[in-house]
Structure 1
Amino acid sequence: MLKSLFNWKVLLNLVVAIGVFVGLVWLTFRWLEYHTNHGQEIPVPNIVNKSVHDAIKILDDTGLEYEVDSANYDPKYRPFQVLQVDPVPGSHVKDGRTVHLKVNPRTWAPIVVPDVINKYSGLAFQRLDQVGLKIGDTIYEPSIQKDALLRILYKGNAVNPGSRLPRFSMIDVVVGSGPMRNISIPNVVGLSVKEARAVITKSMFEVGLVEHEDGGKDESDIIYYQDPASGDVRDQGMQIDLWASKKTPAELGAKIDQLNSIYRMKVDTSLPPVRYEEVHNEPTYAPPPVPKKETPKPTPVKTEAPKTQSTTPKPTSSGTEKPKTSVSNTNQTSGNNTHKPAATASTPAKEPAEKPKAKKVVVE
């Protein structure tokens, strides 16, 4: 057995097999070195802050592959400027290695318009500002949705939620200013239900009860009655009730009269209008009671009997001569009048004293 192992033929075959194996390994490594350019490295050029067109040209000349990706827009750098390189400039890589470039885009990346339609304007403005949209003009439009955001305009065109706009774009918003007052009700009698709905919606009113004569819901039925009537004034947003039928309004005269007796009440204006006067009830204060004065009782007056004075009988003359007054008596009377003090302006005037009666002197 051992002799057979050490036979020269066996040893020769073993040596040949080992040689073939070593040769195959050496050839494999040589092929790998040639295929992978082992030992041949290329330094990454410094292309930071260059334009992306210049950077691509340099990488093509050095035999390096490249991959361009946009970074977040930074207004401090030029558009399409290379901001970052991976691997870093100066490192050695093999020929054909891919180099990743981060480039500043031309402008801000587009953003998605949020769904803020029919939302309260205060919350809508806050949401639009958060995503990076700037609000320009605020346009107010009559609408029953007061202070609600109705539309978003970009360069005069309406923008739907979900559309993409450049970041920090200037947009205009349309906000509802509330319903208008005292608007004339449109006339929809003679129109189909579908046409009446469009006219009422266009006038900023709402469709209320729609009663079909046959109990169906055919939108092609003709409107033969409406409440409120056309021409009446109402605030926008009020409901308009409709009565529809397949017949024409001329064929439904009795039904229309019946509805008029219910919804068209006549007001008698022949009586004069009642005037209401405001009555102010002011408080009255009664004067304090005045104490009554007691009137003194009259005292009885004692009357004295007149005293009889004795007079001497005077002789009467037989003749018809009139008695004459003496001169001395006249002078005495005149003297008494001259010595009487006169009333002055400062003292009150006194009643004139009675003149003394002239004494009768009988001359014998």
Structure 2
Amino acid sequence: MLKSLFNWKVLVNLAVAIALFVGLVWLTFRWLEYHTNHGQEIPVPNVVNKSVHDAVKILEDTGLDYEVDSATYNPKYRPFQVLQVYPAPGSRVKDGRAITLKVNPRSWAPVAVPDVLNKYSGLAFQRLDQVGLKVGDTIFEPSIQKDAVLRILFKGNAIKPGTKIPRFSIIDVVVGSGPMRNITIPNLVGLTVKDAKAYIARNLFDVGIVEYEDGGNDDSDIVYYQDPASGDARDQGMQIDLWASKKTPAELRDRIEQLNSMYRMRVDTTLAPIRYEEVPNFEDAPMNDVSPPPVVTPKPTTPKTSATTTTSKPVSTKTTEVKPKASSDNTSKQTTTKVADKPKPPKVTIQ
């Protein structure tokens, strides 16, 4: 067994295999050194405070790659100024290594305008401030949406929610000041429905019911009737109903008269005007707290009788009228008391 192991043929094959393995390892490392530029390092140039365009040119001439990172905007530095380099300037790196450049952007990072339309102005201002937008002028415009945000203006132009603008930009906000009162209704008869709708919007009213004569819903139809009538005064935001047809208003006189009887109130001026008189309210009159005078009951009086004498003549009877005292309120009536007749006294004979 040992003799066969130390055979010269076996030893030669083993030596050839070891030589081939060592040669392959050496060639591999040499290839790696050549491919990775082993031992060849380039110092990172100092491009801090330079513009990004100059810094990129210097790195390309040196044989280094670059990556630009827009840092938070700092108004103390110039736009597109290199603020920091990684790896630090002076560090040795391989040829082709990517160098990261932190550059000051031209302005603040853009932010999306929040959706604050038709919302209360106080809450809208808070939301705009949270995202970093500054409110410049507050413009009040007549609208039925009082104290609601109607539009947002950026550099004089209306922008929609979601539009991205630089952070800390100054925007103007249009807020509703409430409806206008007593606006004259325009005359829309004779216009097309399309023109009438635009005219209504310009005059701060809303389009109400639009009734088409033929039911075709064609905005090219001519308006032959409107309610309220032209010349009436209404508040902003009131609806104006329209009646439209392919025919002209002159051809629809009967229909117009029918609508007048329904929507136009006629006032009869031949009737006498109604006069209103103020009726006093006795319930509200103050009551005098005066008690009525007490009622005094008259006391009965005893009639006086005259002295009788014994005579031969008969004693006549008399009727005496006694008047009671009058009460303090003069409401008692006088009463008359009759004295009853007394019997005749008997005759006395003296002997």
- Tell me if TM exceeds 0.5: yes
For residues 97 and 224 of structure 1, the distance between their equivalents in structure 2, rounded to whole angstroms, comes to 80
Can you list the C-alpha shifts for 1:107-164, whole angstroms capped at 9, x where unaligned? 2112222222222222221221111110011101111222221111122222222322
Can you list the C-alpha shifts for 1:33-74, whole angstroms capped at 9, x where unaligned? 233222334454565566546655664565433222111123
Task: Summarize the Cα distance change of 1:36–1:216 in structure 2 as closer, same or farther, 3 Å threshold.
Answer: closer
Contact 1:144–1:204 at 8 Å: present in 2 too? no
47-56 or 268-277, which deviates more: 47-56
Task: Indicate the residue corresponding to 1:285 in structure 2.
Answer: 288
Can you list the C-alpha shifts for 1:52-108, whole angstroms capped at 9, x where unaligned? 466556645654332221111234555444444333456543233222122232321
Task: Indicate the residue corresponding to 1:115 in structure 2.
Answer: 115
The Cα of 1:254 is off from its aligned counterpart by 1.6
Matches within 5 A, 1:15-164: 15-16=15-16, 18-44=18-44, 52=52, 55-56=55-56, 59=59, 63-75=63-75, 77=77, 79-89=79-89, 91-164=91-164
For residues 39 and 215 of structure 2, the distance between their equivalents in structure 1, rounded to whole angstroms, comes to 93
TM-score (norm 1): 0.71
Task: Summarize the Cα distance change of 1:195–1:301 in structure 2 as closer, same or farther, 3 Å threshold.
Answer: same
138-147 or 40-49, which deviates more: 40-49
284-293 or 222-231, which deviates more: 284-293
For residues 78 and 195 of structure 1, the distance between their equivalents in structure 2, rounded to whole angstroms, comes to 54
Task: Give 5+ residue unaligned stretches, structure 1.
Answer: 303-364
For residues 279 and 88 of structure 2, the distance between their equivalents in structure 1, rounded to whole angstroms, comes to 95
Can you list the C-alpha shifts for 1:4-30, whole angstroms capped at 9, x where unaligned? 987766755654454344333323322
The Cα of 1:32 is off from its aligned counterpart by 1.9
176-185 or 187-196, which deviates more: 187-196
Can you list the C-alpha shifts for 1:242-290, whole angstroms capped at 9, x where unaligned? 2222222112212211221221121123422423426343133263222
Question: Which is higher, the Rg of structure 1 or of structure 2?
Answer: 1
Contact 1:228–1:240 at 8 Å: present in 2 too? yes
Task: Indicate the residue corresponding to 2:172 in structure 1.
Answer: 172
For residues 245 and 105 of structure 2, the distance between their equivalents in structure 1, rounded to whole angstroms, comes to 65
For residues 52 and 296 of structure 1, the distance between their equivalents in structure 2, rounded to whole angstroms, comes to 132
TM-score (norm 2): 0.73
Task: Indicate the residue corresponding to 1:216 in structure 2.
Answer: 216
For residues 128 and 284 of structure 1, the distance between their equivalents in structure 2, rounded to whole angstroms, comes to 67
Partner letter of residue 40 of structure 1? Q
Matches within 5 A, 1:200-239: 200-239=200-239
SS in 2 for 1:152: strand
96-105 or 174-183, which deviates more: 96-105
Contact 1:48–1:84 at 8 Å: present in 2 too? yes
Partner letter of residue 204 of structure 2? M
SS in 2 for 1:28: helix
SS in 2 for 1:259: helix
SS in 2 for 1:225: strand
For residues 222 and 286 of structure 2, the distance between their equivalents in structure 1, rounded to whole angstroms, comes to 66
For residues 109 and 156 of structure 2, the distance between their equivalents in structure 1, rounded to whole angstroms, comes to 22
SS in 2 for 1:283: coil
Partner letter of residue 288 of structure 2? Y
Contact 1:184–1:234 at 8 Å: present in 2 too? yes
Task: Indicate the residue corresponding to 1:262 in structure 2.
Answer: 262
Task: Indicate the residue corresponding to 1:193 in structure 2.
Answer: 193
For residues 15 and 298 of structure 2, the distance between their equivalents in structure 1, rounded to whole angstroms, comes to 177
For residues 2 and 295 of structure 1, the distance between their equivalents in structure 2, rounded to whole angstroms, comes to 177
Partner letter of residue 245 of structure 1? S
37-46 or 5-14, which deviates more: 5-14
Task: Give 5+ residue unaligned stretches, structure 2.
Answer: 306-351
